[in-house]
Amino acid sequence: MHWCIVVADDHAPDWVPYGALDFHSVPVQYGCLGGSATLLHRALHRAASIAPTSHILVTTLEEYRGLWEPIPWCVRPEMRFISDRRTSPLLTLAAAILSIARVSPSSIVTIMPARCHVGHEWILRQALRQVASELPHVPEGAATLGMLDFRRRRG
């Protein structure tokens, strides 16, 4: 079974203006780049292309609830991991991973950052499918896109 965690609580220094007349900024995943959909919305759509919506989890920050809450409508509330501190994205990610491991320990889990823009979705989807098909042959049981060592596996 395939699961996907969309990480939207990464509070990095990349900020974008929110609204033309607002003077405050928000993390980039809550803003739009070249369209009307936020990066978080695009990441959730990407996640739904590789995992059933019942197997999508999201990590978010409480302080931006007004920005993210309408977006993950397809993600059940118990699949949302909400941090109240900017400094704990790894804790919410670990909680999400452990919740999957509790019910499905041998599943493939894709961790999808919401802060990233993807120029060519089909290339990313092809790479995700390829790494998922190769993962059972990786001794470590984990892979990062572009980081599989095929010579070591075959040698």
Helix, strand, or coil (residue 7): strand
The CA distance from 83 to 42, in Å, is 21
pLDDT score recorded for residue 47 = 92
Question: Burial code of 63-101, b = ≥16 C-beta within 10 A, e = fewer?
Answer: bbeebbeebbeebeeebbbbbeeeebbeebbeebbebbe
pLDDT score recorded for residue 70 = 87
pLDDT score recorded for residue 5 = 95
Sign of the four-CA dihedral 134, 10, 52, 2 = positive
Quickly count: other Cβ atoms within 10 Å of residue 1's Cβ: 12
pLDDT score recorded for residue 3 = 94
pLDDT score recorded for residue 38 = 87
| pLDDT tens by residue, the chain, 155 residues | 789 999 998 766 554 545 544 555 677 888 777 677 888 999 999 999 889 999 999 999 898 888 888 888 889 999 999 988 776 778 899 999 999 999 998 888 999 999 888 888 888 888 888 888 888 888 778 888 866 565 554 44
Residue 51 burial by Cβ neighbours in a 10 Å radius (0-12, 13-18, 19+): buried
